Chains A and B, each alone.
Chain A
């Protein structure tokens, strides 16, 4: 990797850092809107998902990695969502969405 490439990467890191700070401030700001639990969860997790994607894509270089690594993470994410969905499926008759 040439010095120019590294400089280009560093500029991206700084932009991602700025975006993460702004999105963190937005996350806290949204919490003061006192939205209902459903929309608040959806909005909060959407912002977290954007921040997480920025970290994974740019700091962890996933955006420019080999396809094999993308598959490893894609498969683990599929099982991750299974883990999140299993409680909803098994407890489907007992959901209250505690607020």
Chain B
């Protein structure tokens, strides 16, 4: 990494930027939720989210990808930024279609993209206001310039966000007044996402702890977010005015804001999301400490259960299944239906391709190859399994036809996946390449005796996961992880 202090545009990004000040601010978590709600209220974005996003099923993965992306965009390195912008553009170019009312949406629409950046900026400013530490005019202007530069890197035309701050506020108010709607995506984020939020991978083994926390936090986050939305929008969208919600919202913002008195480095968004995203069994060095904490919690749980008074029950013996292969219905829900709408269609497979592409940080033409392989698989699935011809595959259709799943197109996916994972092209996946894809080192991979994995072993493992429905220490965290 080279610092280029002489270069004027680069100085808007990097560690000294206003953006970086917020990035590790815990209030930002609230602000990002709010920004996402404001985004989802835009009809085009809402439709794109409903159709394509896997955030309901895999919110943690999505969150992490977003943060990594933002960090690259606002980081000091110009080259990384340009690459990330190109990647984001390719990603969004694949998202277009029509919504339920046949209105077209397109993630590349410049106005749409401007709105996304606008909500992030506005939510950051509002976050400061709500917690009683408003930004001064100069800081606000600098932050705005940074976000405008962000949009500038993404699109070649910066003029979709107004050049000055006063004009921005007029633009913002106009969109809120005229364009936002009470979309389905907004409803889902506000009222479904947090009530059903799956446990982050790290808490996966502790469902009770997670469910208890969520039952409290879910409605709380919903209420706080609604209360922080602009009043005109709340009125138009018919969102509830809960008594005391304003006070609650401001108290929470203020309380979270107090964390600025914590010593430096205690709260780092990056560390936090990485922690949440860790699979406890992975061999990442950070996982060790985390596993220790988790183990203590498990021990406490075990002790609690053991000393709790014994409810006298004589239930019949139940067969306990540990690592048994899952049923095809379960596989459908856990792996295939990435968007969680109960059907398997292209966005589900695209979401898998997207996850693999971002993990491996693929460039062109590999990324397109991967998507094409998934697309060919989708066509194969559609022609083989879609018996009622509605263009998508229901759970029932899938369960009825499972044996025919490992067709030539799926094998092709496995091969392409091998090719793109094999970054140095030496026809073996070495430990480092393996780690890039699965975020964990070699385990007991079939035939992986020498610390590497051959093409045939890799393809075999992939197929046995996708078709044989064998559980896999590697693919399960990749494709089912929330």
Q: Do A and B come from one complex?
A: no
Residues of B near any A CB (own CB < 8 A): none
Residues of A near any B CB (own CB < 8 A): none
